[in-house]
Structure 1
Amino acid sequence: MTALPDWMHPPRPEGWVADDLDRLPHAPRHTELIDGALVFMMSPQRWWHGEIVDDLTFALKKQAPAGIKVGREMTIRLDERNRPEPDVLVTTAPFAPDRTWFAPEEVQLVVEVVSPESAHRDRTVKLHKYAKAGIPNYWCIEEESGAPVVHVYELDGPTGRYAPAGIFRSVLKRPVPFDIELDLDALVPGK
């Protein structure tokens, strides 16, 4: 086994912190920080995943009102030791070309498209962390017989936890974070 490159060694005994991600020029694309540990997308991305992310991003951008931006592959600095990278996010932050992360209060919706290697993190770890950070809306998109199924959660203010707000197949209509109507079947490659 070969030695790890120097950049992969944590700079302090307690691990990495959120600001370290901006100083890792050799880190693979899609590097996240979860509980002070670097998480890399190690398995190849599936075409289904990429198409869902691309088409969803485009569809949300078309429907977003003024003052709302839709982005992808940007991290959210939840706290000092957590900076996950959702597949898609909706933000109220103004565009800044050199920006590398968002604060939770700038994010209205996070979307994770579940992959086999990210399933546990997307369904449990991130669900808990995004809620704790106060992000109002979370969507977890699963594949069911080749079609996307969207599990929608809204933040319950009094408990600080996500409450299920529906499971959507074929069509998704939501009033938050803005009026959204999506033909989910149109997001499927080849349909």
Structure 2
Amino acid sequence: MAVIEPTETSTVLPGKPPFTVDDLLRFPDDGNRYELFNGSLLVSPAPLPLHQRAIRRLELLLEEFAPPTLEPLSTVNLRVTEKDFFIPDLVVVPTAVVEANELMFAPADILLAVEVVSPSTRARDRTFKTAEYAKAGIPTYWRIEPEALYVYTLQDGSYAGPEVYKAGEVAQLSTPYEVAFDPGDLVRPRGA
């Protein structure tokens, strides 16, 4: 078995597998996004510019249409269990929960979880996150890809759907509140 010695460019993480959320809180801020699934570490690099554009535009759109009792937030900490921890790209939560929360949200706080698919997260966002968010009881999950929006709604403990809205058509959505947009506008260049 080969032993990998830390180098100047490697990050030494405290703890050892299986990791817990408490271990994760001691990790260095090294630019990576760390998530946990059953104690296994999931690592993603910082989001690409198109990914950031889509998140920012969707957050602004959701903010515009949100009732005063609900609030969209990007990249929040979602503690599902001691060994399951995710960072959705965007969520919608009750405003009262935001006021009372400092670090972690529980699945019961989340009305909508959104993931914008990147090359490095494609498999996770399409299958794994869909199953985990449903298992956690999150009522609605949106998966955004460059060509479409995929909307999953919780029914009897699993997600129905998805309903698919292609770029170029307007998605008329009512959950968690009424909003309408063309998914293609989330990634389209400014002024195009």
Q: TM-score range with shorter-chain normalisation?
A: 0.7 to 0.9
What does residue range 40-189 of structure 1 map to in structure 2 within 5 Å? 40-42=43-45, 45-92=47-94, 93-96=96-99, 99-144=102-147, 149-157=148-156, 160-169=157-166, 170-189=169-188
Matched, 1:8 2:10: no
Residue from 37, 42, 48 that aligns with 2:40? 37
User: 2-side partners of 1:121 and 1:181: how far apart?
Assistant: 27
Q: Deviations 1:78-121 (Å, cap 9, x if unpaired)?
A: 11111111111111153248722210000000011111110111
d(CA) in 2 for partners of 1:152 and 1:41? 23
Q: Secondary structure at the match of 1:123?
A: helix
Which amino acid is the alignment partner of residue 140 of structure 1? R
SS at match of 1:31: strand
Amino acid at match of 2:185: A
Q: How high is the sequence identity, in percent, across the aligned residues?
A: 32
What TM-score does the superposition give when structure 2 sets the normalisation length? 0.85
TM-score by length of 1: 0.85
Take 2:120 and 2:184, find their aligned partners in 1: how far apart are those partners?
Answer: 24
User: Residue 184 of structure 1 aligns to which amino acid in structure 2?
Assistant: P
**Cα distance in 1 for residues equivalent to 2:56 and 2:26:** 28
Measured in 2, the distance between the counterparts of 1:98 and 1:128 equals 26
Gaps of 5+ in 1: none
Structure 1 letter corresponding to 2:141: Y
Q: Which amino acid aligns with 1:31?
A: Y
Q: Deviations over 1:45-91 (max 9, x none)?
A: 32211100110011001111111110011121111111111111111
**Partners of 1:130 and 1:26 in 2: CA distance:** 25
RMSD: 2.2
Structure 2: which 5+ residue stretches go unaligned? none
Cα contact 2:51–2:118 (8 A) shared by 1: yes
SS in 1 for 2:141: strand
